[in-house]
């Protein structure tokens, strides 16, 4: 875990997720950061300035025209003081203000007046997140270099389920403090597969698996943060497209194969994190199958191995596979590394709350003449370390 003495300005805007702000401040301070907090008037409806004053150890600023606060540390001084600015939670309204350069209150004025890097952790109802206005604001901010952390998909305070929940404080602070050496993948194009595939049995039924896509999406986010141009070929997931990543959505293994083969020549690195179905129903019924009393036998046909096909190309990209194993993790992964002619393989033991459909993971990463263990941590943190390793190995073997 890295520590720092950076000066972090945390801007808290209005939303239920404001209750997580004190935990962010506490964790940032435990990493050695000096923290000052600014709240919007709406944020003060959800949590009191006194709480954030207590955890940050500094007075909390809320008003643009507060003579006493301006005398102690004026808003321009505060904007200059920060090494980094984090907006968490960032409401839809605040993202819109940022995108349009509004400066009607202290929080937005500071974001406009600072030269420090800006990171936002959005939190809002899933429909607000998916709204075209928010999508456009997020794209504009990402294009200007604003870094996004989350949001995550899941159950929301409003009772709905979908993308819009603020990332957990641990993930946000990890992203701020465990940053990659800037630009490890600058100038490179990275193609990533993620999620499960669905193989139709008939028009209403399919075979799939428990993959959530979280690991692949986290790898895509980390690769983009490291400066790569990222294309993500995703099976069906509940996850929002990571900012700045070109997402192609597919359903079946055959569609994923086609999408990858159409893209691969234009990419330098291929990372296969998808849980592609190894088999599909050989002859999906065109009409809904009716139940009959007797047992039903489905004939399954093998799908194409996308990873193997990419690695077997005449000029393959730097190719990274994943291996989910329930036993003999290292031996099985090593034999996949050589069997499929990969440059690297990331193996994990599935089960015990890790791997499929969980928020944490542990990976054993193996290449021709070395290996390293990325110990149990959040998928976001593991993804950043994996991307760092891929960047280092790529530079070592491809220059």
Q: Residue 132 or 352: which CB sits closer to ligand CTP?
A: 352
CB of 323 to ligand CTP, least distance (A): 5
CB 17 within 8 Å of CB 166: yes
| CB neighbours of residue 1 within 10 Å | 10
Q: Pick from 52, 188, 225, 324: which binds ligand CTP (CB under 6 A)?
A: 324
Give the end-to-end CA distance of the chain in Å, rounded to a whole number: 29
Q: Give the contact letters, 282-321, x = binds to ligand CTP (CB under 6 A), - = no.
A: ---------------------xxxxx-------------x
In this structure, what DSSP letter does residue 355 have?
A: S
- Applying CB under 6 A, the span of 17-25, 105-113, 144-152, 322-330 interacting with ligand CTP comes to 322-330
Smallest distance from ligand CTP to CB 303, Å: 5
Q: Alpha-carbon Rg of the chain, whole angstroms? A: 23
Q: Given the complex with ligand CTP, which of 35 and 387 has the nearer CB atom?
A: 387
Stretches 96-104, 123-131, 147-155, 269-277: which one binds ligand CTP (CB under 6 A)? Answer: 269-277
Binding mask 325-364 toward ligand CTP (x if CB under 6 A, else -) reads -----------x----------------------------
Of 24 and 337, which CB lies nearer to ligand CTP in the complex structure? 337
CB 114 within 8 A of CB 36: no
Classify each residue of 50-74 as buried b or exposed e, where b means 16 or more C-beta atoms within 10 Å of its C-beta.
ebbeebbeeebbbebeeeebbeeee
- Residue span binding ligand CTP (CB under 6 A) among the ranges 30-38, 70-78, 272-280, 358-366: 272-280
Which of 69, 171, 323, 365 is the binder for ligand CTP (CB under 6 A)? 323
Binding flag, residue 23, ligand CTP (CB under 6 A)? no
- Token representation of residue 328: 């003999």
Nearer to ligand CTP, 111 or 323 (CB): 323
Listed residue (238, 215, 170) closest to 320, CA to CA: 215
Which residues are identified as catalytic? 158
β-pair partners for 200: 206
Q: Is 278 in the site for ligand CTP (CB under 6 A)?
A: yes
78 scored as a contact of ligand CTP (CB under 6 A): no
By CB under 6 A, the residues from 81 to 100 that bind ligand CTP are none
- DSSP per-residue codes, 275-341: B--SEEESS--SSPPPP-SS-----EEEPP-HHHHHHTSSSPPEEEEEEEESS-HHHHHHHHHHHTT
Of 138, 141, 192, 274, the one binding ligand CTP (CB under 6 A) is 274
Cα of 113 vs its chain's centroid, Å: 28
Inter-residue contact 35 to 29 (CB < 8 Å): yes
Determine which residue in the list 253, 329, 337, 344 makes contact with ligand CTP, applying CB under 6 A. Answer: 253
What does the alpha-carbon distance between residue 97 and residue 141 come to, in Å, rounded to a whole number?
A: 11
Binding status of residue 263 toward ligand CTP by CB under 6 A: no
User: x/- site string to ligand CTP, residues 182 to 221, per CB under 6 A?
Assistant: -----------x----------------------------
* 268: contact with ligand CTP by CB under 6 A: no
> What does the alpha-carbon distance between residue 184 and residue 4 come to, in Å, rounded to a whole number?
21
Cβ 85 vs Cβ 118: under 8 Å = yes
Between 379-398 and 169-177, two packed helices, what is the crossing angle to 10 degrees?
A: 30
Q: Give Cα separations from 113 to 7, 81, 263 (angstroms).
A: 16, 11, 41
Minimum distance between the CB of residue 321 and ligand CTP, rounded to whole angstroms? 4
Q: Residues binding ligand CTP: what is the number (CB under 6 A)? A: 16
Q: Which residues bind ligand CTP (CB under 6 A)?
A: 193, 253, 272, 274, 276, 278, 303-307, 321-324, 336
């Amino acid at each position: 875990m890295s520590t720092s003495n950076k000066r972090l300005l945390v801007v808290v805007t209005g939303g239920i997720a404001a209750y997580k702000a004190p935990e962010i401040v506490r964790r940032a301070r435990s990493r050695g950061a000096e923290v000052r907090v600014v709240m919007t008037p709406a944020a003060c409806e959800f949590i009191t300035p006194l709480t954030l004053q207590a955890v940050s150890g500094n007075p909390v600023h809320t008003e643009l025209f507060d003579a006493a606060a301006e005398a102690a540390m004026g808003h321009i001084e505060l904007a200059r003081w920060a090494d980094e600015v984090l907006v968490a939670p960032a409401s839809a309204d605040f993202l819109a203000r940022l995108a349009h350069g509004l400066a009607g209150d202290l929080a937005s004025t500071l974001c406009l007046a600072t030269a420090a890097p800006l990171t936002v952790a959005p939190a809002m109802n899933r429909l607000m997140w998916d709204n075209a206005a928010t999508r456009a604001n997020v794209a504009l901010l990402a294009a200007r270099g604003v870094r996004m952390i989350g949001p995550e998909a899941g159950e929301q305070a409003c009772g709905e389920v979908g993308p819009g929940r603020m990332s957990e404080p641990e993930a946000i602070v990890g992203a701020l403090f465990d940053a990659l050496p800037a630009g490890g993948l600058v100038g490179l194009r990275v193609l990533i597969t993620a999620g499960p595939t669905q193989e139709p049995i008939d028009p209403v039924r399919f075979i799939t698996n428990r993959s959530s896509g979280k690991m692949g999406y986290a790898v895509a986010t980390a690769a983009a943060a490291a400066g790569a141009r990222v294309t993500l070929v995703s099976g069906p997931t509940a996850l929002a497209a990571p900012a700045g990543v070109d997402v192609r959505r597919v359903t079946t293994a055959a569609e994923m194969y086609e999408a990858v083969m159409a893209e691969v020549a234009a990419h330098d690195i291929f990372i296969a994190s998808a849980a592609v179905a190894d088999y599909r129903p050989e002859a999906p019924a065109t009409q809904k199958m009716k139940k009959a009393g007797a047992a039903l036998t489905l004939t399954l046909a093998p799908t194409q191995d996308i990873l193997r096909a990419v690695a077997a190309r005449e000029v393959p990209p730097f190719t990274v596979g994943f291996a989910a194993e329930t036993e003999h993790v290292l031996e099985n992964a090593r034999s996949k590394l050589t069997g499929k002619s990969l440059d690297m393989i990331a193996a994990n033991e599935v089960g015990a709350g890790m791997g499929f459909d969980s928020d944490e993971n542990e990976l054993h990463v193996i290449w021709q003449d070395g290996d390293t263990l990325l110990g149990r941590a959040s998928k976001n943190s593991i993804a950043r370390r994996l991307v760092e390793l891929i960047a280092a190995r790529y530079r070592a073997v491809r220059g």
